[in-house]
A and B are shown apart, each in its own frame.
Chain A
Amino acid sequence: MRPQDLAVLRPEGLFCPPGDFLIDPLRPAARAVITHGHSDHARPGHDEVICTEATAAIMQARLGERAAGRFSTLRYGEKVRIGEVDVTLVPAGHVLGSAQVLLEWRGLRIVFSGDYKRDADPTCAPFEPVRCHVFITEATFGLPVFRRPPPGDELEKLRLSMARAPERWHVVGAYALGKAQRLVAEIRAAGDDRAIAMHGAAIKICELYQNFGAKLGALEPASAESTKSSAPGLVICPPSALQDRWSQKFGDAVRGMASGWMQIKGRARQRNVELPLILSDHADWPALQQTILDTGAEEIWITHGQEDALMRWCDLRGLFARPLNLHGYEGEEAE
C-alpha cells in the first residue's frame, strides 16, 4: 500500500482510485470533491460535487445552472465513505466554506489542503491541522521573504490613510470572493461602521456571506450616483477594476490593494498602488512550515506556487517532498 495508490496525479487533477473521484479537477468529472469556491478550484460541469454547504452556495451563485449536476454537501468533520475511502472535510481557513480533504484508506491518511491560511479571519472557520502521513500543500507564498505583518497593522495603515486624506476616495482592490468580505468584516470588527461602497462584482457574494452569518454592516453599490451624493470614503473593487476606466469616477483617489504580493515593493509599484496592504488568504512562509510540522506528515507533496523553496526547506528538515506541478491553480497570482 503506497500513498500513490490512494492519490495519484492525472492531467485532469488529483485522482483518488479507491474512491473513484477527483479533487478540484481542472476538467468536468463524474465525481469531484471541491475544496473551495475560487474559480480555479471550483470549475463548472461536474456531474456530482462533494463540498461544504457554503462552497455549494458560492458555486451556485457564481456558476448558476452550470455549477454541477448535483451537490452532496458535508459538514466540517462529518465522515463519509466514498467507494473504499473515508472522506472528511476539515476547515482550511481560506475563504467561507473552504475545506481540506482528509482521505483515509486502510490506515493510510492523506490530507489535501487546497488553499489555506492560519491567520484569524472573521468570515470563515479557522484552519485545523490534521495529523496525516502525506500532506499535500499549496506553496503560493513559499519563499522566506513572505513573512507577513499582523493583519491589524495593515488595517491601521488603511485607517490612517483615510484619516489623513479624508477628501479623497480610497479605492482598494481586493479579490471579489473572500478578500473583499474579509476586509469589510475586519473593518467592522475594529468598530468602524461607516458605509462601504462595493463594486458590483462582489455584491452578490457579500449578500451570500451575510446569509451565512458574516457581519458586513452597511454596504452600498459603488455607482456613479453614490460618488456624487456622498462624502469620499472606502470603495472595494476587484484588482482588475483599479486600473480600469471604472475607477476614474472616483477622481484623484488613493489606490490601494489588499494582496499578499504587496509585500514586494516592486509588485506594488508595477500596479501603481499608492497604498499597499499586505493581506492574504494564503499561508505565508512561517505558516507553511508550521503547518507541515503540525501535520506530522512524513511526505510532503506540493501542488502549486513557489515549490522550489519549500522543497528545499523540506530537504533541509529531512522531510521527503515532491512537486506535483499542478498547473491550472493560480494561487493569488490571478488576483
Chain B
Amino acid sequence: MKDFSNLLENLLCQPARNGKLALLVDYLNRTPDPDRGYSLAALCGDLVLDEVKPGLLRALIEERADPILFRLSYDFVGDLSETIALMWEPGEAAEPPGLAQIVESMRAMSKAEARRRLPGWLDTLDGTGRWALLKLVTGALRVGVSTGLAKQALSQWSGVAQTEIEEVWHGFAPPYLPLFAWLSGAAARPSACDALCFHSPMLAHPIDDADFERLEPGDFKAEWKWDGIRVQLKGRSGAGARLFSRSGDDISAAFPELVASSGEGLDLLPLPASGERAGVRGGGVSPDVVRKASGVHGHPLVFAGGLDGELVALEPGKTGLEAVASFSTLQQRLNRKTISAAMLARIPVAIIAYDLLFAADASGENWTDVRPLPFLERRRLLEQAVAKADDPRLLLSPLLSFEHWDALAAQRAVSAEHPSVEGVMLKRKASPYIAGRPKGEWFKWKRDAHLLDCVVMYAQRGHGKRASLYSDYTFGLWSGDALLPVGKAYFGFTDAELAQLDRFVRQNTVQKFGPVREVVHASDNGLVLEIAFEGVQVSPRHKSGYAMRFPRINRIRRDKRPAEADQLEALAKLAR
C-alpha cells in the first residue's frame, strides 16, 4: 500500500505529462502482480468498489471527532477523503494491509462489513496511506491520470505498441493478469476478438482552419455529427448482445428494448453491475418491464457483429432519421436506476450506426475483425449488416455528398437548425479503424458554440486544487428588471483570470449562504461574463425555465456594464 500511496501522491504533485509517465513506468517496473494491475485499474477508474459512499465516511469521522471541528476542517481542505485522512488520529502500530488485500476484501464485502473494517485499516496506515485508501475506496482518485496515459505507460514499460494494447485492453478485468503476462513476455498475445467485450473506439481530432489547406476533399467522406451518446453494440447468435458506452461501461440494462439483458435467457455472459461512471444505471429493470418493452417491437434488436454508433432518442410514433430527437430528450433516459414501461414507450431510442468493427458470417456465430480494412470497405459491410438486421431501431448514418469544403460548410451551417446534429464528421476513405485518436484520419467539425453575455450572481468555492478560491459561478440573464440564473460554469478561464474572478467575488460579496456567496449584480454594478455553450434545455429546476448545456466562461467582459448583458429571450429563442 505504501508504494501505491506514494505513487498517488507523486502523480498528484507532478504537473507534467512526461513526469507522470515516468512515475508510472517506474512503478510498473518494480511492482508485481496483482498490485500493478489493481493500481492501474484504480487510476483508470476501472475498479468499482462502490460500498463506500461519502455519507459513510462522514459517519466514521463523526464517531471519532467533534462534528463541528470536522465541518470547519472540511470547509478548509475542500476534499472529504483528505480531510478525514488528515484528521484521523492514528491507532496502535500494526502491519498495514496491502493493496491487493484491500481491493479483494472490498470486493467481497457488504456495506456493513466495509464499514466495520475501514477504521482498522485507517488505524494502521500513515497519513498518505489513509488518504490513498479513502481515495481508492470512494473511487475518486483524481490525480490526473487518464486511461490514455495509463496505456501509454504500459506501452513504454513493455515496448509493445499502444495500438496493440488498445485492441485487447477491454477484454480483461482487473488485475489484468493475462494482459501483464503478455506484456512481460511470459505469454502470447491474448485474443479479445471473440468475447462480447468492449473495444476502445476511434476518436476524431477537432479540425482547424489550417487543416482545410492541407487536406484533399476527395480523400474524405462526411457524415452528420449526431448529438447523442456514442455506443458500441456487440451481438452474437447464441451469446446475446451487449451495449457499451464510449468509456466501456456496459449500459445494456438501461436500454432493455435494444438489448435483452435479463429475463430473456439470451445472454450467456454474466453482466457486471457497472454503468455508473457513464451516469447510466440500469440495475433495477424487472423482466416484466423488459417483456413489455420488447412487446413494443415484438422482440429485442437482433444484430450479429460489432458496430460503432450513436444512441439517440426518437419522437414517439415517428420513424427514421426524421424522428431523431434532441439530446435533452435522450437525457431523460440516462442517469436512471429503474426504467418504467411508460418511460420506454414515451422515449423510444435507436442506434444510428456509422462504423463496423466486426463482421458476422451468415450464421451470426463467427466474426471477422474488419478494423484493419479501409473506411469505405467497412462502410459497405456496415450497410449490409444494417440491411440484414432490418429494424427501425438500427439506422444508418447517411453520407453527405460534397465536392469542396465550402459546400460542406454550407451543409454544416444548415445543420445548426437540427436539434440532434452538432456539426459534421470527416473520415478519411482509406482510414483503418484505429483505437485512440490517430492523427490525420478522422476530424470533427463542430457547430460554433453559442455566446451570450451573462451577469455573475453567485459564487462558490471549488474543490481540490481550487478549494481556497471562488471558482464556480452562477450567472443570469435579464428578464425585465430581474436577473434569472441560467447556468453555472467552473472552467474556461486561466489561472490569472481565476485570481481576478476570486478577487471580484471577495470584494463584492453582498450575502453569504453557507459556502455560497451572493455577489453584487445590479444593472450598474457587477461583472459580465461572456458564456459559451453548446445548447439549451428547458429546465423546470431553474427559475428562468432554461439551462445551458456545457456552459463555460469564454471571456471576462470588464468593458460591459451588467445592464448591457443579454436578455433571457435570446436563450429562449435557441430552445425553440
Contacts and interface: CB of A to CB of B under 8 A. Distances in A.
Interface in A259-273: 263-270, 272-273
Nearest to B463: A266
Contacts of A167: none
Contacts of A270: 465-466, 468-469
Q: Kindly name the residue among B69, B79, B464, B468 whose own CB sees the greatest number of chain A CB atoms within 10 A.
A: B69
Interface stretch (B9-17, B203-211, B285-293, B410-418): B9-17
A147 interface: yes
A274 interface: yes
Given A144-B87, A145-B86, A267-B468, A274 B14 contact: yes
A306 interface: yes
9 contacts: A145-B87, A264-B77, A265-B13, A265-B79, A266-B465, A266-B467, A272-B15, A274-B19, A275-B13
Nearest to A267: B468
A147 B88 CA distance: 10
Interface in A142-185: 143-147, 149
Contacts of B77: 145, 264, 266
Given A265-B12, A274-B13, A309 B468 contact: no
Contacts of B14: 274
B72 interface: yes
B29 to A, nearest CB: 14
Contacts of A309: 69, 72-73
A149 B72 contact: no
B13 A143 contact: no
A276 interface: yes
Contacts of A147: 86, 127
A250 interface: no
A1 interface: no
A334 interface: no
A316 interface: yes
Interface in A220-278: 263-270, 272-276
A308 B69 CA distance: 9
B127 A149 contact: yes
A146 B73 CA distance: 9
Given A144-B70, A145-B76, A316-B66, 8 more contacts: A143-B76, A144-B73, A144-B87, A264-B82, A268-B13, A269-B464, A270-B465, A312-B68
A313 interface: yes
Sorting the interface of chain B by its residue count into under 10, 10 to 19, 20 to 34 or 35 or more gives 20 to 34
Given A264-B82, A266-B77, A143 B72 contact: yes
A309 B72 CA distance: 7
A266 B468 contact: yes
Interface in B55-79: 65-66, 68-70, 72-73, 76-79
Contact of A274 (B15, B73, B82): B15
Nearest to B462: A266
A143 B15 contact: no
A190 to B, nearest CB: 21
A255 to B, nearest CB: 9
Highest count of chain A CB atoms <10 Å: which of B12, B72, B83, B469? B72
Interface residues of A, number: 25
Contact of A145 (B9, B15, B83, B465): B83
Most buried by B among A266, A272, A306: A266
A308 B71 CA distance: 11
Given A265-B12, A274-B13, A145 B73 contact: yes
Contacts of B469: 270
Contacts of B86: 144-147, 263-264
A246 B14 CA distance: 21
A309 B12 CA distance: 28
Contacts of B15: 269, 272, 274
A265 B72 contact: no
Contacts of A275: 13
Contacts of A274: 13-15, 19
A314 B406 CA distance: 73
B294 to A, nearest CB: 50
A266 B79 CA distance: 9
Q: Which 10 A-B pairs have the closest CB atoms?
A: A145-B86, A269-B465, A266-B467, A309-B72, A144-B87, A145-B73, A143-B73, A266-B465, A312-B68, A274-B13
B72 A306 contact: yes
A273 to B, nearest CB: 6
A269 B464 CA distance: 9
A111 B82 CA distance: 35
A312 B66 CA distance: 9
Given A265-B79, A266-B78, A313 B465 contact: no
Residue of A145, A149, A308 ringed by the most chain B CB atoms within 10 A: A145
Most B Cβ at <10 Å: residue of A147, A265, A270: A265
A145 B83 CA distance: 6
Contacts of B463: 266
A199 to B, nearest CB: 22
Contacts of B65: 144
Interface string B149-170: 0000000000000000000000
B403 to A, nearest CB: 49
Nearest to B79: A266
Contacts of A266: 77-79, 82, 463-468
A289 to B, nearest CB: 12
Interface in A271-290: 272-276
A11 to B, nearest CB: 22
Nearest to A142: B72
Contacts of B9: 265
Contacts of A312: 66, 68-69, 72
A265 B82 contact: yes
B12 A269 contact: yes
A67 B306 CA distance: 80
Contacts of A264: 76-77, 82, 86, 467
Contacts of A316: 66
Contacts of B12: 265, 269
Contacts of A149: 127
Given A266-B466, A269-B13, A306 B66 contact: no
Nearest to A252: B16
A327 to B, nearest CB: 14
Contacts of A308: 72
Interface string B429-473: 000000000000000000000000000000000011111110000
A74 B9 CA distance: 46
Contacts of A146: 86
Interface string B312-342: 0000000000000000000000000000000
A266 B14 CA distance: 13
B501 to A, nearest CB: 15
A270 B463 CA distance: 11
Contacts of B465: 266, 269-270
Contacts of B467: 264, 266
A265 B465 CA distance: 8
A316 B76 CA distance: 20
A159 B365 CA distance: 61
A192 B87 CA distance: 34
Interface in B1-25: 9, 12-15, 19
